[in-house]
Each structure stands twice: as structure tokens, then as C-alpha cells.
């Protein structure tokens, strides 16, 4: 079987045998700029929250969780167990992903503002079509008995408004779209 | 009912609260031989505080006013179980004089101060009058509640901006707004008054001068209800987000520079506590500036969330003192207990670590630290759910050290041991919206200002690195990159679907949550 490649940040990883199953071992080649390529054996054991890895540098445990971005691709949070080491917003690039990755910085469809928590819309401070500045309050939401102002992350125009005062929203519900 | 060993037969104590504080009270009550009664709402049917008590009574719906705030239901539960004492914990009914009166009318003993001293000190406006009469300095502001935004603006003009608008019935930062200029005061008044009305059923507001670069220092007192009172040292709780404490410690690093100020603060607190014949545990909150001035803010007529730090340095179990006082078996020591070493507590919340907005949700796996001089107060020890109906605190972690530096180092290590994972699919996809402030707390223990003990209340706002995003792909370690690549590949392999190991773990959790949801009426 041919090698499987993926790229994460500065590291290109080339699996010489395809890793399979909740436990096992495989050989990987690691290439990163400015360092000579390395090749070594990796053993792993998967558990409910992530996996344990045995590398030449020792044993390491990681917890992993992922969320889907607007394009349906997984974005990971990975934390080393027993330490404060954690990385968020991590994406895995695979051969064939280049087009998607390239489109990232291209034209933007508009920025969805979503509810960060369940709650009730108390006031809507903007109208459709209105220009807004960065940090301008857009809505007031009540959650956990506190009123929270939702502010604009950047400059733009309110393209669509999805909520009205008094409405109850769940986490992730679209509130408005900025463009 | 559980046996209380060889100890004397005491009458039961009903704990009118939930979560970690209900468990904490139950532990001491049991150790002293008091049988314990829990109350619970629909959302808490399988909560750990229910299991921590000898018996448990359902008192209504998930919304606090249908259960934990419902005086009639709590009293009925006490009568039905033969409870003699009611311990209110903190929050909920703990500072409601009408609840104390209702307990008395029902022949129950409220574990705390009398309704009278609660009225004198618990309401911020009457408390100000009380301390004024005893010449304890307090922050300049309106003498009482203001009628409307215009009156608030008049006082603000007089004392000078910036000012704080505060809810008379408030606490925990709810119904509180900083106002920097006259143009903002009308909208701030409207917003905070409505927030106060929703949270406390009372929208009255007062105006106070805002002290710049302030420190929050509070004095723990204990009164015998007969005019005797002692202090149990101070706590500094200056590190706050959204006006809510997130890191508390004793002794106060600021007061270490002002020993005379500390003694004056103790003396003021004791003078007031004696004057109102205060019974039980109470806290006097002060705001202190960096020039040796302090001003009375308010009194909390209950056990505080952060009481463990005082327990660490004094060796006193405050709940034991409360219960024994209620049972008529307590003799107040003539002097304050000696204080030893340094203690730090942090609050682990289900909230976004950058915006501090609440982010409750289901917990898949959870792990707390242990080891010498490490304490975890929590109601979560296995898969469960941080309910959106209640305060999103997951746990309080506290540590003791011979000095502050040792305590901070110990906290750093303890926090690195903590794990809180959301429920996930096997491929790592997060289910629900749980986030925690764990990464933020870890950064606190590594922050140079925190390590030095130079922590005015604006520390978090003034230190953007504490709330910066975590490092991402560009900074990822080689080991983490290998783990992620491997994790993704093994999810795609055919064996992933055949193997049941990890899937079963999360599957059983989900059926457990489904069962939980299923039993809700």
C-alpha cells in the first residue's frame, strides 16, 4: 500500500504504513523546514477522549475534540494530558485539500454571528442594511440571568437579521449575518 | 437513615442548596453526626449532591423559583423529613430575611444570622446606614436607592465620574455597570435595573464612586449571636472577570504591605458584627486602593464560595462552627485562631476562556487533582451535565502552601492535572456546547503579576495575554501533530467501525443522559 500524507502546521507527515484500529504501530516520516527528515516507529492506544502515543521521545497522552467550520471541515483542539500545552483551531491538510485551503483567504460569503449559549434576545440594536463598526453592540442577549452585549467582530454591513426581541435561541443559532 | 456511629443523636439538617456547596455542608454535617437531607429540582434528580445526603426530597421544577427559591416547598420538605436545622449554603435563599422568618415560624432553626441582622447588614442600603453610624469608612455614593436615571446622574455629577451603578439587592456583578460619562448613564441605568429586576425581583439601584486600580479584600468573621465576634483573617479576591471572583487567596498580598491597614480592617468588621449581634459566618467586603485606604463595600450574611482559603490558613471547619452554633453547642474562642501559610482557590467555570460567557453543556470525562494540600470542591466526578438552569461553576480547587509562592506553584501543578472533556463522538466531534476556563486559569498561575501578587481588579482587562487565543497549527508541537494525524487516520480505517471500545464509552453516556432527560416530566 502507498504512503499516506498529511500536513499539520509546519509538519509534513508521511505514514509509510497506514495506521489502523484503536491500537497498533506504524512508521512515519516527519519533514519540517530547516530540520533533517526523521523516520521512526509510532505505537498508539486510543481511548474515549483521545490517544496515547509511544514515540522515540517517550509516551505522550492527548485529548482531542473537533468542531466543524462553515465548510464542514474539522477544526481540532488538541491538549497534552497533564500539562498546559494545548493547540486550538488546528486543521489537517491532506493531498487534494489545497483548493479548499487556498480559498480560505479569498472572497468571504459573509460572517455569521451565532449564539454562543442558549438564552433570550432582549434587544436588537441594529437593522438590516446598517453599517456597523468593529466592537459596535449588535444585540443584547440574556443568558444565565446576565445581560450580555453581542458586539461586532469587525466592520461591515448587516446583511440579514435572524432574530427579534423576546425570541429564545439555542447555542449555535444564527443571529445575524454581516458582510 | 445512616448511622451516626457512637456520636450523640443529633436531629437532621436539611441543606437548602445544590451542587458543590450542598456536598461540602453534608460532609461536615455527617462527620458531626447530623443526619442529612438534600432537596433537588427536576434538573438535579441524579446530581451528586442528592447522593451525598442520607435522604433526598424532590421540591419542584428546574427553574430556581420553582424549587430552590421556593420557601414553602423547602419548609415542607424539612417538616416531612423531621429536619430540625436548615443550612442555606450560599446563593438561593441564604440571604433572604423572609426565609429566616419562615423557618422560625415553622419551628426550624436557620443555620445563619437572624432575620433582623440580615436586614440590617444584608441589604446594601441599610448596611451603609449601619456602618455609617459606626464610623466605618465607605465608598462615596448615594445614601440610598435612587429613583431614576436623572437622580443617578445628579449623584454621579457630585461624586465625579467614573461611577458604578449597583443593584441594591444584587451580588455577583449582576445589575452592575461602570459609567464613564453622563451620556451613558441613562442606558446603563435602564439595563442594570432590568437585569436586577430579573435576577433579584428588585430593580432598585444606587450610585457609587468607582475606585481606580482597586483591590478587593474581605474579612471573614464569626459571631456567636450574643454580641461576641472574632475574625478569621482576610481574603483577597481581586482577580475577577465580569465582576465575579475567579481567584481568591489568604492572606491578601496587598495587605502584606499594609499590616496596620489590615488590623484596622479587622477591627472595623468585628465592631459591626458585634453591634448587630451577628450569628455565624459572615464576610465584610472592602475595596482597598494602593495607598493604604479601604472602604466598606457590603456584608455577605452567609458562608462565601471562597471560604476554603480561610479554612486552609486557620484550620477551622467553618461549617462545623455554623452547625454547632445552631445546635447550641458552640463556644466562641476568645481570640482569632492563628493563621498559618498561604492558600489559593480558583473557580473552574463552564465558560468561554476568552469572553467569559457561560458555556454549559454535557461533560464526557472529568478529572480533578489530588496530592498533599490540594482540595477539590465539586459536584462533578463523572460524566454529567453543567445545567443551564444554574450557576455554571464546575469546581473550586484550592491549595495550601507554607508561603504564597509555594501555594501558587502547587496550584499550577494541580491545574495541569485537571481534565474536563465535553461529550464527543468517537471521531472527536464535540456534542453540546461545553467550554471551560481551564486554559485561562492555567495562564493565571504562570502570569508574572499573579506570581508577584500585584493583582488589582482590572488585572484581566490589562493583561491581554491571559485571554489570547491558544496557539494554533503554526506553533503545534511535533508530538501533537503526529497524534492528530494518527487520530484522523485511524477514524477512517475499517477497524474503527468494527471496534467497539471507545464507542461504547460514549454510547453508554448518551443513553445515560437520555434516561436522565426521559425522566423529566
For residue range A123-149, what is the model confidence (pLDDT) as tens digits?
A: 899 988 898 888 888 988 887 667 788
Cell of B360: 454549559
Domain CATH for B234: 3.30.470.20
| B:146-185 residues touching chain A, CB 8 A cutoff | 173-174
Instruction: List, in order, residues 6 or more apart from B373 with CB less than 8 Å away.
Output: B312, B399, B400, B401, B410
Pair B445, B372: CB distance under 8 Å: no
Q: Does B357 touch chain A (CB under 8 A)?
A: yes
Whether B21 and B79 map to the same domain: the answer is yes
Sorting pLDDT into bands at 50, 70 and 90, what band is A2? low
Distance from the A166 Cα atom to the nearest Cα atom in chain B, whole angstroms: 14
Instruction: List, in order, residues 6 or more apart from B56 with CB less than 8 Å away.
Output: B37, B38, B39, B40, B50
Q: At what angle do helices B182-200 and B149-159 cross, to 10 degrees?
A: 120
With a pLDDT cut of 90, the percent of chain B lying above it is: 80
Instruction: List, in order, residues 6 or more apart from B193 with CB less than 8 Å away.
Output: B167, B175, B203, B204, B205
Residues of B in Cβ contact (< 8 Å) with A114:
none
E strands within A33-118? 38-47, 50-55, 58-68, 74-80, 86-90, 111-114
Whether B229 and B323 map to the same domain: the answer is yes
Please identify, among B95, B111, B127, the residue that sits at the C-terminal boundary of a domain: B111
Residues of B in Cβ contact (< 8 Å) with A18:
489, 493
The reported pTM is 0.83
pLDDT above 60: residue B509: no
Domain CATH for B170: 3.30.1490.20
Backbone angles phi, psi at B266, to 5 degrees: -55, -45
Q: Does B388 touch chain A (CB under 8 A)?
A: yes
pLDDT in tens, B436-489: 999 999 999 999 999 999 999 999 999 999 999 999 999 999 999 999 999 999
pLDDT in tens, B75-127: 999 999 999 999 999 999 999 999 999 999 999 999 999 999 999 998 877 88
Element (H, E) at B186: helix B182-200
Q: How far is CA B486 from the centre of its chain?
A: 41
Please identify, among B316, B340, B364, the residue that sits at the C-terminal boundary of a domain: B340
**Nearest by CB to B479, which of A57, A91, A122?**
A57
Identify how many contiguous H helices and E strands chain B contains and give both numbers: 18, 19
- From the list B18, B24, B302, B375, the catalytic residue is B302
Sorting pLDDT into bands at 50, 70 and 90, what band is B7? low
Domain that holds residue B184: 140-209
pLDDT in tens, B215-246: 999 999 999 999 999 999 999 999 999 889 99
Domain CATH for B33: 3.40.50.20
Whether B103 and B163 map to the same domain: the answer is no
**Does the active-site annotation cover B446?**
no
Write down the CATH number for the domain with range A111-178: 2.40.50.100
| B:485-504 residues touching chain A, CB 8 A cutoff | 485-490, 493-496, 499, 501-502
Higher pLDDT: B399 or A103? It is: B399
Please identify, among B340, B355, B390, the residue that sits at the C-terminal boundary of a domain: B340
Pair B16, B39: CB distance under 8 Å: yes
Pair B364, B424: CB distance under 8 Å: yes
pLDDT of res. A104: 44
- Here the ipTM equals 0.83
pLDDT of res. B499: 46
Distance from the A7 Cα atom to the nearest Cα atom in chain B, whole angstroms: 8
Amino acid at each position: 500500500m502507498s504512503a499516506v500524507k498529511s500536513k499539520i502546521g509546519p509538519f509534513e507527515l508521511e505514514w509509510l504504513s497506514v495506521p489502523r484500529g484503536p491500537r497498533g504501530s506504524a512508521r512515519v516520516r516527519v519533514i519540517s523546514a530547516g530540520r533533517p527528515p526523521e523516520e521512526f516507529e509510532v505505537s498508539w492506544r486510543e481511548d474515549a477522549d483521545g490517544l496515547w502515543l509511544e514515540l522515540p521521545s517517550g509516551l505522550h497522552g492527548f485529548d482531542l475534540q473537533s468542531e466543524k467550520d462553515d465548510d464542514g471541515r474539522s477544526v481540532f483542539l488538541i491538549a497534552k494530558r497533564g500539562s498546559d500545552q494545548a493547540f486550538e483551531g488546528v486543521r489537517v491538510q491532506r493531498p487534494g485539500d489545497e483548493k479548499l485551503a487556498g480559498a480560505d483567504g479569498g472572497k468571504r460569503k459573509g460572517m455569521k454571528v451565532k449564539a454562543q449559549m442558549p438564552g433570550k434576545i432582549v434587544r436588537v440594536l441594529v437593522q438590516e442594511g446598517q453599517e456597523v463598526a468593529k466592537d459596535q453592540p449588535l444585540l443584547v442577549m440574556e443568558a444565565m440571568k446576565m445581560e450580555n452585549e453581542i458586539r461586532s467582530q469587525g466592520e461591515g454591513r448587516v446583511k440579514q437579521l435572524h432574530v427579534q426581541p423576546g425570541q429564545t435561541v439555542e447555542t449555535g443559532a444564527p443571529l445575524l449575518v454581516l458582510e | 437513615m445512616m448511622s451516626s456511629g457512637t456520636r450523640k443523636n443529633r436531629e437532621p439538617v436539611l441543606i437548602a442548596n445544590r451542587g458543590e456547596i450542598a456536598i461540602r455542608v453534608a460532609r461536615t454535617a455527617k462527620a458531626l453526626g447530623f443526619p442529612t437531607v438534600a432537596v433537588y429540582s427536576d434538573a438535579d434528580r441524579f446530581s451528586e449532591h442528592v447522593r451525598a445526603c442520607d435522604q433526598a426530597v424532590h421540591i419542584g421544577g428546574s427553574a430556581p423559583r420553582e424549587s430552590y427559591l421556593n420557601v414553602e416547598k423547602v419548609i415542607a420538605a424539612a417538616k416531612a423529613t423531621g429536619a430540625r436545622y436548615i443550612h442555606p449554603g450560599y446563593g438561593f435563599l441564604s440571604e433572604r430575611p423572609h426565609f429566616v422568618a419562615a423557618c422560625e415560624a415553622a419551628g426550624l432553626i436557620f443555620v445563619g444570622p437572624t432575620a433582623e441582622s440580615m436586614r440590617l447588614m444584608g441589604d446594601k442600603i441599610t448596611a451603609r446606614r449601619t456602618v455609617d453610624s459606626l464610623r466605618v469608612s465607605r465608598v462615596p455614593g448615594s445614601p440610598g436607592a435612587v429613583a431614576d436615571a436623572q437622580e443617578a446622574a445628579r449623584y454621579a455629577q457630585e461624586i465625579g465620574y467614573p461611577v458604578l451603578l449597583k443593584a441594591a439587592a444584587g451580588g455577583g456583578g449582576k445589575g452592575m455597570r461602570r459609567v464613564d460619562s453622563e451620556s451613558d448613564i441613562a442606558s446603563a441605568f435602564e439595563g442594570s435595573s432590568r437585569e436586577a429586576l430579573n435576577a433579584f425581583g428588585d430593580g432598585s439601584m444606587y450610585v457609587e464612586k468607582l475606585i481606580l486600580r482597586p483591590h478587593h479584600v474581605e474579612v471573614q468573621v464569626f459571631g456567636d449571636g450574643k454580641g461576641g465576634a472574632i475574625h478569621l483573617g482576610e481574603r483577597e479576591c481581586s482577580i475577577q472577570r465580569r465582576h465575579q471572583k475567579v481567584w481568591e487567596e489568604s492572606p491578601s498580598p496587598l495587605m502584606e504591605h499594609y499590616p496596620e491597614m489590615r488590623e484596622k480592617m479587622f477591627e472595623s468588621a468585628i465592631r459591626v458584627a458585634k453591634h448587630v449581634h451577628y450569628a455565624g459566618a459572615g464576610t465584610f467586603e472592602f475595596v482597598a486602593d494602593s495607598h493604604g485606604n479601604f472602604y466598606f463595600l457590603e456584608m455577605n450574611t452567609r458562608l462565601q464560595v471562597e471560604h476554603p482559603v480561610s479554612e486552609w490558613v486557620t484550620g477551622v471547619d467553618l461549617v462545623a462552627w455554623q452547625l454547632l452554633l445552631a445546635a447550641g453547642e458552640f463556644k466562641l474562642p476568645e481570640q482569632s485562631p492563628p493563621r498559618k501559610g498561604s492558600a489559593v482557590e480558583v473557580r473552574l467555570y463552564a465558560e468561554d476562556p476568552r469572553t467569559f460567557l457561560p458555556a454549559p453543556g454535557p461533560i464526557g470525562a472529568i478529572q480533578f487533582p489530588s496530592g498533599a494540600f490540594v482540595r477539590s470542591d465539586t459536584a462533578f466526578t463523572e460524566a454529567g451535565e453543567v445545567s443551564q438552569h444554574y450557576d455554571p461553576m464546575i469546581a473550586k480547587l484550592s491549595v495550601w502552601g507554607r508561603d504564597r509562592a509555594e501555594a501558587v506553584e502547587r496550584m499550577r501543578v494541580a491545574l495541569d492535572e485537571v481534565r474536563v472533556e465535553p461529550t464527543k463522538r468517537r471521531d472527536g466531534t464535540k456534542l453540546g456546547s461545553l467550554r471551560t476556563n481551564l486554559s485561562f486559569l492555567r495562564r493565571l498561575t504562570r502570569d508574572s503579576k499573579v506570581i508577584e501578587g500585584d493583582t488589582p481588579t482590572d488585572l484581566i482587562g490589562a493583561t491581554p495575554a491571559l485571554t489570547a487565543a491558544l496557539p494554533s497549527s503554526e506553533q503545534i508541537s511535533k508530538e501533537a501533530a503526529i497524534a492528530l494525524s494518527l487520530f484522523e487516520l485511524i477514524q477512517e480505517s475499517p477497524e474503527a467501525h468494527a471496534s467497539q471500545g471507545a464507542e461504547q464509552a460514549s454510547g453508554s453516556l448518551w443513553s445515560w443522559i437520555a434516561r436522565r432527560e426521559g425522566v423529566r416530566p
